[in-house]
Chains A and B, each alone.
Chain A
Amino acid sequence: MTRVSVALLLAILASAMYLVAVQYESRRVFTELDKARSEARYLKTDFDRLQVEKRSQATPARVERLAREKLQMRQVSPGITNYLTASGEVAMPAHISTTTTAVQP
């Protein structure tokens, strides 16, 4: 009888220790999860921030300025544009059939 009691006591002690260990582990893991979550949040907002930054580096205003000043480009006009039709033909602007010329008074 005493032997059984001692065994049970030991078993209880062991399970109690195990419980403590598991509890500790679960808290540690939870902390890690929490950290990872806030890291994820941070990365998400950082992604948004970088997207805005990327966009502000590519605004028409900036592109236009750099094209003009650094690359000496000029604005396109229909006069220097080739228009591709769906059939693949290249329509030169100067050759467009003029069904609608300006009406003369």
Chain B
Amino acid sequence: MSRSIQYTSSPLLASRTPVWRSKFVVAAIALAFVGLCARAAYIQVFNNDFFQQKGEVRFARTLELPANRGRILDRNGLILASSVPAPSIWAIPEDVEMDAQERKTLATLLDIPAADLSKKLADESKTFVWLKRQVDADVAKKIASLNLKGIYQRTDYKRQYPEGEAAAHIVGFTNVEDNGQEGIELLFNKSLVGTPGVRHVIKDGRGRAIESFGETIQPIPGKDLQLSIDTKVQFLAYQKLRDAVISNRAQAGSIVVLDTTTGEVLALANYPSYNPEKRLNLSGAQLRNRALTDTFEPGSVMKPFTIGLAINSGRMSPTTVIDTAPGSVNITGATIRDSHPHGALTVEQVIQVSSNVGTTKIAMQMPASEMWETYSQAGFGQKPQVEFPGVVSGRLRPAKTWRPIEQATASYGYGLSASLFQMVRSYTVFSHGGEIIPATLLKTNEPAVGLPVFSALTAAKVRKMLQMAAGPGGTAPKAQTAGYSVGGKSGTAYKQVGKGYGSEGNRKYRSWFVGMAPIDHPRIVVGVMLDEPSAGKYFGGEVAAPVFSEAVQQTLRVMGVQPDIAIRPQIVADMVQESF
């Protein structure tokens, strides 16, 4: 037995292969297997996670589930703002292959010049180019059906505002990322935006999801928000205001309609306004929510508070006679005048003809601290509890710093400032049984709980005076409206021109009217303000009161309030000029 393997029986062919060689081969193969086993163990056991992960990256996808932004609804559930899909079109310039015809079609669909499109696609080093953001869903569908290489879509959402400019200031708008920028959209952005969800899927070679794995987090859509605004009232108010601003050639105007039972804002509009969907070349004047952000001296609108305090504290009664002759009064050297001398007036008539002298004489019998307290309770100089971007608190200096002349001017609304919104809210003191109620922009069905300022009896007495002021012989008979009894107070002020108030013939005015209806059981308080009316008329009773009249009529009709007075064919109009 030789130490070799015999492959054949023929001794001629016998090779003398040493046995160790075959053993070596066996050992080598065995070693290779050991190596493979070790590698397999390494992959499967020791470093499994790493390889699993690498594998997953190649077929597993994490998909974001978008959450819709909540809608904004009016008090009747009508849409004021809603997000609709508006795909954005993008491209990878390097991959784009289009012939001239396709290029033209795409440019037409995107509504951009063909040259612009070519320019965008010219730089092939870029890997991402927006062609157009937020196109209409129909357009996106057509583009998708063209099946162009290198052109892609991303689902974006666009905010739509069916009411357009009529509700622009209250609703506000969002930016291209669907985040609130103004108005309610900004204020309630947190609750309007939803939380996007995620889901993990395995995709096959053709990009179809074939299996889901891991935890799926469902998206939480944003909450719908129901405002107190009534779109009909809002539109009618905006329309009447716009017409008045245009016909009086005013710079701007604002209107606020407040429900005095619940404190809900039924309408809040400003003119000039803007279309929240097309916001190119917006000016600050258009964007300004004047009703909330512009303050001015309330003027005669303050008088009912001064008189109300005098009556509430028992110092006066509506029939107490005040001598306003000779139409001026001297307070520590300064003279306060009425535009027309009135002689002896009852307290009621002081409001009716809006006498500065009468109001001053009544005010000077009261301590400044009491007046300050009443004004503060009515919300003057206080931060309005309605939160809104840019809302202002106006100004009311502490009573301690008032000199006698300042107490006198404050009594008829000078030396302090407030926004139109504040004035409207302050008048709930008279419309809500002597209590001031919190205003709200959100729908509520609860009657508002007010803070008492005057007694209910005082409020009723002042309401009667307000009715006289808006009646024949008052300063604003044009505030009357067919079918409904109204009451309110007009105001007119010089605007500052340069350093002073302008000279005769070169003055600028601001006119307003704040009132309520129906006067016995008020349902609404309406405030109207016009800035720089320059078509000849400028008294609040002449330019703002007619807007009030129309707004009251339409609002009460929409609210379904039955008329409380007989219809008269013609509204009486013999009015007294008010004092500044």
Q: Are A103 and B468 in contact (CB under 8 A)?
A: yes
| A48 lies within 8 A of chain B by Cβ | yes
| A48-B84, A49-B85 known; A100-B472 Cβ under 8 A | no
**B562 and A100 contact, CB distance less than 8 A:** no
A34-B208, A102-B471 known; A78-B82 Cβ under 8 A:
no
Residue numbers in B under 8 Å from A96 (CB-CB): 562-566
Q: Which of B68, B166, B485 is close to A61, meaning CB atoms less than 8 Å apart?
A: B166
* Interface assignment of B99: CB less than 8 Å from any CB of chain A: no
Contact (Cβ within 8 A) B209 A52: no
Which parts of A40-81 form the interface with B (CB within 8 Å)? 45-46, 48-49, 51-52, 55-56, 59-61, 64, 75-79, 81
Closest beta carbon of chain B to A57's beta carbon, Å = 9
Interface string of B416-436 (1 = CB under 8 A from A): 000000000000000000000
Nearest CB on B from A90, distance (A): 12
Known A-B contacts A94-B566, A102-B472; the reply to A30 vs B212 at CB < 8 A is yes
Q: Is the CB of B82 within 8 A of A52?
A: yes
Q: Which among B83, B160, B520 has the highest number of chain A CB atoms within 10 Å?
A: B160
In the complex, what residue of chain A is closest to B201 when comparing beta carbons?
Answer: A34
CA distance A9 to B343 in the complex (A): 121
Distance in angstroms from B419 CB to nearest chain A CB is 26
CA A30 to CA B208, docked complex, whole Å: 9
A93 to B569, CA, bound (A): 12
* A residues in contact with B232, CB < 8 Å: 60
Q: What residue of chain B has the Cβ atom nearest to residue A92's Cβ? A: B567
Among B278-286, B332-340, B476-484, the one that faces the other chain is B476-484
- Whether the pair B210, A31 counts as a contact (CB closer than 8 A) is yes
Assuming the contacts A31-B208, A48-B82, A60-B231, asked whether A105 and B564 have C-beta atoms less than 8 A apart, the reply is no
* Contact status A100-B166, CB under 8 Å: no
The residue on A at minimum CB distance from B210 is A27
Known: A27-B210, A79-B567, A100-B485. A55 touches B562 (CB 8 A): no
Give A87-100 as 1s and 0s: 1 = Cβ < 8 Å from B's Cβ atoms.
00001011010111
CB–CB A55/B78 < 8 A: yes
Report Cα–Cα, A3/B379, bound state, in Å: 100
A interface residue count range (under 10 / 10 to 19 / 20 to 34 / 35 or more): 35 or more
Q: Bound state CA distance, A60 and B232, in angstroms?
A: 6
Q: Say whether B235 contacts A103, CB under 8 Å.
A: no
Query: Which residues of the partner chain A approach B565 to less than 8 Å between Cβ atoms?
Result: 96, 98, 100-102
Contact B553 A105 (CB under 8 A): no
Q: Which residues of A contact B519 (CB under 8 A)?
A: 100
Query: How far does the alpha carbon of A48 sit from the alpha carbon of B82 in the complex, in Å?
Result: 8
Does residue B236 face the partner (Cβ distance < 8 Å to A)? Answer: yes
B323 at the interface (CB under 8 A from A): no
Is B228 engaged at the interface, CB distance under 8 Å to the other chain? no
Tell me the minimal C-beta distance from A69 to chain B in angstroms: 15
B237 to chain A, nearest CB (A): 11
A102 to B232, CA, bound (A): 28
Residue contact B467 to A103, C-beta cutoff 8 Å = yes
A5 contacts B by Cβ under 8 Å: no
A59 to B160, CA, bound (A): 13
A2 CB-CB contact with B under 8 Å: no
Do B235 and A27 touch (CB < 8 A)? no
Compute how far the CA of A67 lies from the CA of B80 in the bound complex, rounded to whole angstroms: 22
In Å, the complex CA distance between A3 and B520 comes to 105
Contact between A104 and B472 (Cβ–Cβ < 8 Å)? Answer: yes
Q: Does residue A18 face the partner (Cβ distance < 8 Å to B)?
A: no
In chain B, positions 416-473 with a C-beta closer than 8 Å to chain A are 464, 467-468, 471-473
- Give A72 Cβ to nearest chain B Cβ, in Å: 18
State in angstroms the CA–CA spacing of A102 and B472 once bound together: 8
CB distance from B92 to the nearest CB of A (A): 23
**Interface flag for B153 (CB, 8 Å):** no
Say yes or no: A78 contacts B79, CB within 8 Å. no
The CA of A103 and the CA of B553, in the complex, are separated in Å by: 19
Q: Which residues of the partner chain A approach B564 to less than 8 Å between Cβ atoms?
A: 96, 99-100
Q: How distant is the Cα of A55 from the Cα of B160 in the complex, in angstroms?
A: 10
Per-residue A-contact encoding for B553-564, CB less than 8 Å = 1, 0 else: 110010000111
Taking a contact as CB atoms under 8 Å apart, the answer to whether A83 and B160 are in contact is: no
B306 at the interface (CB under 8 A from A): no
Q: Are A49 and B137 in contact (CB under 8 A)?
A: yes
Bound-state Cα–Cα, A102 to B208, Å: 76
Q: Cβ of B415 < 8 Å from any Cβ of A?
A: no
- Contact surface of A with B, Cβ cutoff 8 Å: 26-27, 30-31, 34, 45-46, 48-49, 51-52, 55-56, 59-61, 64, 75-79, 81, 83, 91, 93-94, 96, 98-105
Q: With A26-B211, A34-B209, A100-B520 given, can you name 4 additional A-B contacts, CB distance below 8 Å?
A: A34-B208, A45-B84, A64-B239, A78-B557
**13 A-B Cβ contacts within 8 A?**
A30-B210, A30-B212, A51-B79, A52-B160, A61-B235, A61-B239, A76-B557, A78-B557, A79-B482, A93-B566, A99-B564, A100-B565, A103-B467
By Cβ-Cβ distance, the 7 closest A-B pairs, closest first, are: A78-B483, A60-B235, A56-B162, A105-B473, A27-B210, A49-B84, A55-B162
